Amino acid sequence: MGAVKTKRMPRAVREQQMLDAAVRTFGQRGYMAASMDEIAELAGVSKPLVYLYLNSKEDLFTACIRREAAALTEAVRAGVDPGLPTDRQLWEGLRAFFTHTARNPDGWSILHLQARTHGEPFAAEVAAMRAEIVAFVTQLIVAAAREAHHDPDLAESEVAGLAEALVGAAESLAAWANATPGVTARQAAATLMNFAWSGLGNLMDGRPWTPPDALTR
Q: Does 139 bind a copy of itself (CB under 8 A)?
A: no
Q: Does 121 contact DNA by CB under 7 A?
A: no
Angstrom distance (rounded) from CA 99 to CA 188: 10
Residues 6+ apart with CB under 8 A from 77: none
> From residue 24, how far is each of 113, 128, 174, 186 by CA, in Å?
14, 22, 18, 25
Contact present, 40 and 50 (Cβ < 8 Å): yes
Do the Cβ atoms of 156 and 141 come closer than 8 Å? no
Interacting residue with a copy of itself among 171, 185, 213, 214 (CB under 8 A): 171
- Applying CB under 7 A, the site for DNA has a residue count of 22
Please count the residues of this chain forming the interface with a copy of itself, following the rule CB under 8 A: 53
51 is an interface residue for a copy of itself by CB under 8 A: no
Contact 174, 97 (CB under 8 A): yes
- Judged by CB under 8 A, the residue of 15, 118, 139, 186 near a copy of itself is 118
Q: Which residues bind a copy of itself (CB under 8 A)?
A: 29-30, 32-33, 87, 113-114, 116-119, 141, 144-145, 147-148, 150-151, 154, 157-158, 161-162, 164-173, 176, 183, 187-188, 191-192, 194-206, 209
